[in-house]
Structure 1
């Protein structure tokens, strides 16, 4: 066990040592994108690099770096889906994420856990990067269900993020604010009820997040209750829309 800890610590140190080089490379790619316009391969490369940094940060316990990479990755995903985003403030926002990654790396290098100021800065970047007044996190693997939910949320101006892993979803909710958490009962690593319970117990951030559980089963729930339960049937979209209109988007 001590050998494993020592190995992980060595890998963490190497990761932190190499991190500035990775950040410089990200910055160069972003500036190249700004100079030459949209390039699919550059955008894919940026996405892969940020995704890799996010995963490695979580592996080595540098969770705030992963917290920053999550929305940075989402921003790049949106650019891949809509290259007109480059004509807006994409580069400016992306470089703000780069600067925040540098700042957070410096804190970790000093042997200190990043504090609330980093999360406040992250929230500020998120607000600048979207015109949406509401945000939703979807934890669902079915493309059909996701399509129905996205249709409703998009029509109401929501910023939408998707994960298919309950444990990752919990990390997102703890790291950033979402107005709405929609999760299936059966999700990887942490099921929907456990996820909702953890969110409700998480304190100030969690209690502001409305929760919706999607299920095909009749449930007898003991303990924390989701704000809403929707059955996965032919009426799912209509019921979901009703809940969003009456309770969330007003």
Structure 2
């Protein structure tokens, strides 16, 4: 019997769609429980994170890149928000609703709808009420840094200023995120296993879509300025780190855009 690869792939995709819809239904229930303070918070929150990560990890395999991106942005939201209040739980529901639409669609939407979906996604410190559609402008900062205390501190500092944050610990993934999200600035660690922050800066300089994105390297080491693009900023980790980071964000005009 001849193996029908196309039919097999379609069955796998349908299985993914059905399992994802089940996960999203479970997440709806978790959100309702956590919003109303029912059940064990830690266990339910962990399950929510695990289900979102599972959908994110498999969506790209089935050609649903935007679903992967929205799931990633939800993970960003959860990391930046930390202890979620009721308004923020309503925002989490917006992400889940958008993910359900994309799962039902079974493919990436057209370019205009792609942009509209990303624009609708709230960020963790966004001020809004149910009675007003007025929102502050979304100013996005991508933080390329391994998980840990330092990333939490930087995320907390930036979120408190009202910035929309995205996180990754992989420079290669950062390239795709920068092209997808077109952030207002990128803050990258220098030290990574396979590619340094300096090398990432040079790669982005060679891509037309990313070459003008403000880019800063965060490091405790000395960097030869001749090895990085002229407009790449270096922020030294140390006693004045927060002040220097704030000054850089002011210099590139981010606070004026909020």
Q: TM-score range by the shorter chain?
A: 0.7 to 0.9
Aligned to 1:113, which of 95, 99, 108? 108
1:16-63 C-alpha deviation (Å, 9 max, x unpaired): 343222222222322333444573322221111111211222454432
Aligned to 2:201, which of 193, 196, 199? 196
Alignment of 1:80-99 (within 5 A): 81-83=82-84, 85-86=85-86, 88-91=87-90, 93-99=91-97
1:42-94 C-alpha deviation (Å, 9 max, x unpaired): 22211111112112224544321110101222333456x314x12x2522x22
Matches of 1:26 and 1:174, distance apart in 2: 29
Matches of 1:123 and 1:140, distance apart in 2: 25
Alignment of 1:50-89 (within 5 A): 50-78=52-80, 81-83=82-84, 85-86=85-86, 88-89=87-88
1:108-165 C-alpha deviation (Å, 9 max, x unpaired): 3xxx532221332222223697247533221123746436644653564333333221
**Counterpart residue number, 1:171:** 176
Asked whether the 8 Å contact 2:201–2:232 carries over to 1, the reply is: no
Stretches of structure 1 that go unaligned for 5 or more consecutive residues are none
Matches of 1:11 and 1:193, distance apart in 2: 40
TM-score by length of structure 2 reads: 0.73
Matches of 1:8 and 1:203, distance apart in 2: 39
Alpha carbon RMSD of aligned pairs, Å? 3.5
Matches of 1:96 and 1:150, distance apart in 2: 22
Matched, 1:184 2:189: yes
TM-score by length of structure 1 reads: 0.75
